[in-house]
Structure formats: structure tokens, C-alpha cells
Structure 1
């Protein structure tokens, strides 16, 4: 039996970087995403440590069934909830559909995946959950009305689950990145302007976030905390 980590949003962005780092560190990685084609490409590139898991995080039954099927014969000891969306919204242009999608993916998805994984973490004798929040949960950005609110909810969920799961020796923490040099962020055309507002003068490299995720997937004495990785932007 080998130790396994479940990573959502695995086919792109920060999820992909986390998969690559953890697979390189010797983990068996259940890589969860909606795109079978993208997951197959990821597995072909990274190697046999990556096990594709096709599911939508908003579908709790599908996630549970998929996780149960692929964990069999292995120890699931960590979960990384990377899946998230960040469409720009303001009070004068948000819609109910966008609201529900943002909260379904960013908040409900985090709960669904964690709920599916916890029985396996308990069976392993404990483990770690790492949620992706955002610096926008602390220092909101213009035009990110719903995204900021959803990530503030992730912070609260992280604390609540840390208390709830502590008796099972499961720690729950979060990372809160600021601007990161991912394809999705680059497509906004705003990274250069954002970098000028960051005290360290640049956006983060993806692996600078992933290294903190790697530290947090190893259960320890830290739980209910959020590591802000934003180059000092949250202090502005």
C-alpha cells in the first residue's frame, strides 16, 4: 500500500503544479479534474504516479464514487483542494448563475471533496487537508466581488473543519496565494500592473505556492491556519 494524495483542479494552473511537485516527491497522486483529455496528457507527461480521476467537484455522489474506487488498496493521507474559478464580478453585473457557479465550485466543491476523502483519511489513521483560499479573502480586489466572498468562506470552512476533524488526527489548513504566474492569470493581461503593487515587486512562481502545499500535506501540529503567500500584498 502506498500513500496517496488527492488533488483537485489537477489538469491546469496551480493544481497541475501541485501534482507535478507531489508526484516528484514520491506521492501517488489522484488527479481530479473534469477533462479526461487534459488528465491523460498530464499523466503521460508526469508518469505513472499520476492516476487520472474524472469528476466535477460540484457532484458529491460522483466524486465519492470515483474516490472510493481509486483509493482501494492504497492509503489516502492527504487532500489538496485546488479547483476554483474566478470570473470578474461587480454589484452592477453579477448574476445569480455566476454566483451559484462560483460558490458551487469554490465552496461546495471543497466540502464535497473533503467529505468524500475523510472516511479514507480516518481509515489511514489521520492525514491532512489543504484548501486553496486567496489573498482576496483578506484584501479584496476591485471587480472580484463573488470570488473574494467565496474565498473568505473557504477560510471559515478551513477553521471549522480543523476543529471538527481534530479528534481523527486530521489537520486542515489553507494557502492564500496572491498573483501567480499561471496561464489563467496571464490571460487577464493584468499581471504586470499587479506586480507593480506588490511589495516584493513581482508575482509568484507557481512552485513557490506548491512548496507550501507540500509542507502542509504532512500532518503536524499546525491546523486551522492559512498561509498567505502574496509577496506582502495583503499588507497594502
Structure 2
């Protein structure tokens, strides 16, 4: 992986979506701690005051035009965009019996269309001159499906697929595209209803990941283009092997 000096890092911005909570927030904080300017994108205003190096951006990733306008404004006078980390996503339960059209569209709009919108807006700002990197959040459920995650699993499989496609398409612009596929992670959402406690006995490492562990992977893949592109890294405590 390319090593960046402090002066180089301070002249770069990163776009992080889903930045108000969970893995997105931890990723935004990791980049900010490393000296990057962070555009912290979420659909709502953050509950906490803005931290150093972090600019909150309120935008819906499903609306490409609104997202582009918000990013254009947030980048004015700021360091150039060099990385895009799309951590935004939803994971409501669904099955053949329970799903409906509204739920299908909500999951695929946010998890699939939203990721593509973020990629297109980000690619325009990164541009072909200096290149950059993109990291998408997929899920281990794209490979090892879970009961009652019918639509979520399919949406994350789509993310894995277009990670490969965009890696080829954006290579000529000097942009690498990779994904991470977390398993169980200790977030606000997974703690609800005791789901994560029920899952831990089946994880070979017998624990869930922390949001900081996932942010470390987002940092390592996003901080600079490397020779790795089009890949999805599973960070799931051994669940995928089973």
C-alpha cells in the first residue's frame, strides 16, 4: 500500500456516507484522525457537534441530483476529493412471504441505486488526473445468506458485482474500486432485539467485530490507490468459511 506523508494527506478529502452512526461514523472519524478532510454524508443532521476535519453534509444518496449539489457545495474551497467510502445501507428483514414492492424498492434504492449514485458523483470529482479510490460496503450475506434476509442479501450481491464492473470501468481514470463485506458488527442496529447475541455462538471467533475494526479496513483500502481493485474482502470472523 502506498505510504502518504502528512502534507499529502492534508491536501485530500474523502466522502463517507452513512456517517452519523455505526461503521460509517467510525470510518469518518478514522480518516479525520489521519488528517483528511471528511465530507460526512447522511440523510439527517448529526446529533453530535461536528468534529475537527469533518464537514457534515445532509443529502439523500437515492437522489443523485441533490447529492451532487450538496457535494459540490461542501467541496468548494476544500482539498480535492481523493476517496469515496459508501457505508450507507439498510438491512430490514424480508422473506418470500413477507416482502412487498415498497420494501423491495426501499432496500434496492438505498443499497444498490444509492451506491451507484455515490460512485458516479464521486468519480466526477476525483477525475482522471490524480486518481483515487472507492470502497463500497457489501456484506458477508452476499456470499453466505441468512434466513429472513432475502432482499438484503440480493442487494449486497449486486454491490459485489458492480464493484468488479466499476473497477474495470474506472481503471483508466486511475480509480481503484474495492468492497468490504462485514459479518456481525456491534452497531446500534444489530444490538436491537438481541439478534447479535443469538448469532455470536455460530461465529468461529465467538465475537462480533467492533466498528473501529471495520473502519480500519475502510481506511486501508481507501487511503490510496494500490494494485488491488475489483476485490471484496470478507471481515466476518470466519463465518464465510462455514
TM-score, normalised relative to structure 2:
0.93
Question: Does 1:180 find its partner at 2:185?
Answer: yes
Tell me what 2:118 maps to.
Answer: 113
Tell me what 1:140 maps to.
Answer: 145
Tell me what 1:76 maps to.
Answer: 81
Q: Per-residue deviation at 1:42?
A: 4.9
Tell me what 2:5 maps to.
Answer: none
Q: Distance in 1 between matches of 2:213 and 2:49?
A: 20
Question: Does 1:17 find its partner at 2:22?
Answer: no
Aligned with 1:222 (options 214, 228, 240): 228
1:78 and 1:121 in contact (8 A); partners too: yes
Q: Distance in 2 between matches of 1:36 and 1:210?
A: 21
Q: Per-residue deviation at 1:134?
A: 0.1
Query: Which deviations, in whole Å up to 9, do the C-alpha atoms of 1:50-69 show, x marking residues without a partner?
Result: 00110000000000111112
Q: Per-residue deviation at 1:193?
A: 1.7
1:77 and 1:124 in contact (8 A); partners too: no
Q: Per-residue deviation at 1:206?
A: 1.0
Structure 1: unaligned runs, 5 residues or longer? none
Tell me what 1:191 maps to.
Answer: 196
Structure 2: unaligned runs, 5 residues or longer? 1-9
Tell me what 2:165 maps to.
Answer: 160
Q: Which of structure 1's runs of 4+ aligned residues deviate more than 4 A?
A: none
TM-score, normalised relative to structure 1:
0.95
Aligned residues: 231
* SS of residue in 2 equivalent to 1:184: helix
Q: Distance in 2 between matches of 1:107 and 1:69?
A: 25
Change (3 A) 1:15 1:209: same
Query: RMSD over aligned Cα, in angstroms?
Result: 1.1
Q: Distance in 2 between matches of 1:71 and 1:114?
A: 16
2:13 and 2:39 in contact (8 A); partners too: yes
* SS of residue in 1 equivalent to 2:112: helix
Change (3 A) 1:186 1:222: same
* SS of residue in 1 equivalent to 2:172: helix
